Amino acid sequence: MNDGGPAYPLFQIKYEGHDRYSSTGSRGKSLLDDFAGQIISGIMAADTQKSGFMLYDDPDEGRQKAAVCAWDMAEAMLAEKHKREAAKGSETEGEAAR
Cβ neighbours for 58, distance < 8 A, ≥ 6 positions apart: none
> Would residue 77 count as lying in a domain?
yes
Sign of the four-CA dihedral 33, 35, 38, 40: negative
Rounded average pLDDT over 46-73: 78
| Number of domains composing the chain | 1
Domain, as residue range, for 91: 29-97
> Would residue 85 count as lying in a domain?
yes
> Would residue 88 count as lying in a domain?
yes
> Would residue 12 count as lying in a domain?
no
In whole numbers, what is the pLDDT of the chain averaged over residues? 81
> Would residue 59 count as lying in a domain?
yes
In the prediction, which pLDDT does 54 show?
67
> Would residue 22 count as lying in a domain?
no
In the prediction, which pLDDT does 4 show?
84
> Would residue 20 count as lying in a domain?
no
In the prediction, which pLDDT does 75 show?
96
Does residue 5 carry a pLDDT above 90?
A: no
